[in-house]
Amino acid sequence: MGLKKLWLVIERDLRMFIQYKFLLIMRAIWFVAQVALFGLVVNKLVETAAAEVGISYFHYYVAGVTIITLYSTTMFIGYDIFEEAEHGVFEYLLTLPVSRRELVLGRSIGGGLRSFIYVGPLLVVVLSILGVLNPLHLLVALAALFLFAFGVSGMSITIAVAMKSGDKYDILIGVLDALIVRLSTTMYPQLYMQRAMPAYAAIANFNPLTYAADLFRWGTGVESALQFSPLVGVLGLFIFFFAFTFVGVVFYERRLEGGSWQ
């Protein structure tokens, strides 16, 4: 496998990302509104509960919103795949002197990397709000977030290639987004999910967004004690990354043959 060719595929996806400039601006506005309006007000609403678990809800929520933003921007790669299928770009890609595997792996890495680049400036703002207690923890958390982003990219590609219609993909992603975000600890501590409905907490235990959000909070020092060991979180994200990147690669590779995406 040629690294240079792989990089060319990644570079193409990075460039493609810029075409979403208005959607990216929208995401940034959403982020600011979530932090500066919703986060501040809900912080007041739940201050007793936050004190009970020894956290600032505002800080807790800011970290969670960062993970939601990383997740949702990484999911964009699936829309690119539909656009390419609809406009006949797939055929062009297949004529390139790049192997199927390089193409697919490059897309998966590119999808994760570009969202990480997008979230980068937001991350700087977030870290200036949250502060960093232990740089080593933060490095571990950021490495885990890379795995998370590549895993989400693989998941998005897997779903996109498994569906024939862009509309169905859009709808499924909307529903998945609603459930995966709400059934995770991005917005609320697991203790309260357990109190509200033990089933929600049980699902959250296996949700990659929970691992990513909790590890990020641990990395920045927002949460000193996690529900699970950081090692378990990193392992959970690694399994997620491995499963979806390689399942995505195999699926995408198979769909490319014989024009079955049409």
CA nearest neighbour of 116 among 138, 83, 147: 147
Cα 184 to Cα 28: distance, rounded to the nearest angstrom = 22
**Cβ distance to another protein smaller for residue 46 or 234:** 46
Binding to another protein (CB under 8 A) within 146-185 occurs at 167-168, 170-172, 174-175, 177-179, 182-183
Does residue 133 bind another protein (CB under 8 A)?
no
From the list 42, 125, 232, 256, which residue makes contact with another protein (rule: CB under 8 A)? 42
Does residue 41 bind another protein (CB under 8 A)?
yes
**Cβ distance to another protein smaller for residue 41 or 94:** 41
Contact between 193 and 103 under an 8 Å Cβ cutoff? The reply is no
Backbone angles phi, psi at 223, to 5 degrees: -120, 120
**Among the candidate windows 39-47, 62-70, 241-249, 250-258, which touches another protein by CB under 8 A?**
39-47
Does residue 21 bind another protein (CB under 8 A)?
yes
Does residue 226 bind another protein (CB under 8 A)?
no
Axis crossing angle, helix 230-256 with helix 135-162, rounded to the nearest 10 = 30
Cα 31 to Cα 152: distance, rounded to the nearest angstrom = 19
Provide the Cα torsion 137, 143, 149, 150; round to 10°. Answer: -160
Q: How far is the CB of 88 from another protein (least distance, A)?
A: 21
Does residue 188 bind another protein (CB under 8 A)?
yes
Does residue 246 bind another protein (CB under 8 A)?
no
Q: How far is the CB of 223 from another protein (least distance, A)?
A: 16
Contact between 234 and 215 under an 8 Å Cβ cutoff? The reply is yes
Q: How far is the CB of 15 from another protein (least distance, A)?
A: 18
Does residue 44 bind another protein (CB under 8 A)?
yes
Does residue 128 bind another protein (CB under 8 A)?
no
Does residue 79 bind another protein (CB under 8 A)?
no
**204: helix, coil or strand?**
helix
Q: What is the DSSP string of 50-118?
A: HHHTT--HHHHHHHHHHHHHHHHHHTHHHHHHHHHHHTTHHHHHHHSSS-HHHHHHHHHHHHHHHHHHH
Backbone angles phi, psi at 205, to 5 degrees: -60, -25
Does residue 30 bind another protein (CB under 8 A)?
yes
Cβ-based burial of 203 (10 A; exposed 0-12, middle 13-18, buried ≥19): middle
**Cβ distance to another protein smaller for residue 41 or 117:** 41
Residue 180 half-sphere exposure toward CB, CA atoms < 13 A: 19
From the list 7, 38, 79, 238, which residue makes contact with another protein (rule: CB under 8 A)? 38
**Cβ distance to another protein smaller for residue 2 or 174:** 174
Does residue 205 bind another protein (CB under 8 A)?
no
Given the rule CB under 8 A, which residues bind another protein? 21-23, 25-26, 29-30, 33, 36-38, 40-46, 48-50, 167-168, 170-172, 174-175, 177-179, 182-183, 187-188, 192-193, 195-197, 200
